[in-house]
Amino acid sequence: MTLKQFYNCRILRNHELVDDHLWVRNGRIVDPEKIFFDEKILPDVKIDCNGLIVAPGFIDLQINGGYGVDFSHDIDNIEDAVSLVARKIIHNGVTSFCPTIVTSPFYVYRTILPKIQKRPGSADGAAILGVHVEGPFINPQKKGAHPEDCIREIYRGFSSVENAYGTLENIKIVTLAPELNRSGEVISELVKRHIVVSLGHSIANLKQAEEGCRNGATLITHLFNAMPGFHHRDPGLIGLLASEKIPKPIYYGIISDGIHTHPAAVRMAYKAHPDGVVLVTDAISALGLSDGQYHLGQLNIEVKGEQAMIAGTDILCGSTINLNRCVQKFKKFTNCSAAFALEAASLNPAKVLGIEKKKGTLNYGADADFIFLDDDLRVLSTWIAGEKVSSNFD
């Protein structure tokens, strides 16, 4: 087992950048003191990081596709579609992700879900942590880019969910609207099965949102989007950021592209509840490509510049931004520290999934998934299990 020492670097540890060495063996971060005192050996390989930042690899909890493929549309070759995106996004520093399926006909879920299996990251691409199923149990009044004829109620409680998806085996996150009838029992049952529940595409008032959290929801899907705007007498889902009536502080996904969320709104969320921010892309099949016509599930999409709209409308439907740019823009919008911006795309999403001891951190025992960045937070190389899988500056 090769022992590697990365030196001359600034490592993101304990919410700050520190001058230190990073030691890796067998795909994990190891404690050098134990090696010195217990094993009395030297590293097999020493790698000079040239003063760069070393941070945990990014984790994207909401990505619909990219590079010409859409996870909700390309169902006949879904394994190849997911593998393509997994290979491409490592260049943006993403080492783990949750492929996202938007509201779709039942046959789409039943075809796709058994085939998108969890797998570790490697030179073949980022790790798949489980599927994020966004819908179909959402409010049609805030459907966004979800086809209304595919939206469903929860008439029969949890059996409605099982009937829709066919299998829950590969699902890690479910987005639903907490105001729907019988949503409480569904949220509770999903959480019992170790599935994260995210509240979104909803017109819930604050009381309904708080009840969703008391039932086990821990995340908000793309804050500010597909929900009512903030109102001082009833702040709705947005009010969860400051609620004192939920079991624990909420996490919230935010698309910091300056299009889905105005920089001032990003700053407001950050200042109201900084510990909850989770940067997501909500990227569609146009990620990494030029303007043109694309798909998002059942809908036709038109991309012009950085904006993706349902064809023939002014309705936003996902982004074309990558997670590295989200991190850079978030830092610019909020004037937060580099460490904070990086953790918003690594440690915080890992905490949402309950995997923060293995992912999103460079603590001893964690998976050696990390990235090299310059002072402008540009990803220069990506490493998975201690092996370089992408380089943007060779």
Q: 225 a known binding residue?
A: yes
Q: Is 72 exposed, middle or buried (0-12, 13-18, 19+ CB in 10 A)?
A: buried
Helix axes 183-192, 206-214, angle to 10 degrees: 30
Separation in Å, CA 89 to CA 92, 127, 128, 288, 390: 5, 11, 12, 9, 10
Q: Is 385 annotated as a binding residue?
A: no
Residue type, 217: A
Query: Which amino acid is residue 92, in one-letter code?
Result: N
Answer yes or no: is 317 a known binding residue.
yes
Q: Is 326 annotated as a binding residue?
A: no
Report whether 305 contacts 371 (CB < 8 A).
Answer: no
Q: How does DSSP assign 23-62, residue by residue?
A: EEETTEE--HHHIIIII----SEEEE-TT-EEEEPEEEEE
Q: Say how far apart CA 375 and CA 388 lie, in whole Å.
A: 20
Would the annotation count 134 as a binding residue? yes
Is 201 marked as a binding-site residue? yes
Compute the Cα dihedral for 114, 115, 116, 122 and give only its sign.
positive
- The catalytic position among 70, 282, 367, 369 is 282
Q: 377 labelled as ligand-binding?
A: no
Does the annotation flag 222 for ligand binding?
yes
Kindly compute the dihedral angle of the four CA atoms of residues 236, 201, 325, 15, in this order, to the nearest 10 degrees: 50
SS3 266: helix
The two counts, helices (H) then strands (E), for the chain are: 10, 22
Rounded CA-CA distance 301/282 in Å is 14
Residue 73 is labelled as binding a ligand? no
Encoded amino acid at 107, one letter: Y
Residues in the chain: 394
Is 70 strand, coil or helix?
Answer: strand
For residue 345, say whether it is annotated as part of any ligand binding site: no
- The Cα–Cα gap between 75 and 114 comes to 11
Sequence-ordered list of residues with C-beta below 8 angstroms from that of 181, at least 6 positions apart, any chain: 153, 154, 155
282 is catalytic: yes
Known binding residue 318? Answer is yes
Binding-site residues for substrate, please? 145, 225-226, 233, 260, 316-318
Please report, in range form, the residues annotated as the binding site for Zn(2+): 134, 201, 222
Catalytic residues: 282
Annotated binding site: 134, 145, 201, 222, 225-226, 233, 260, 316-318
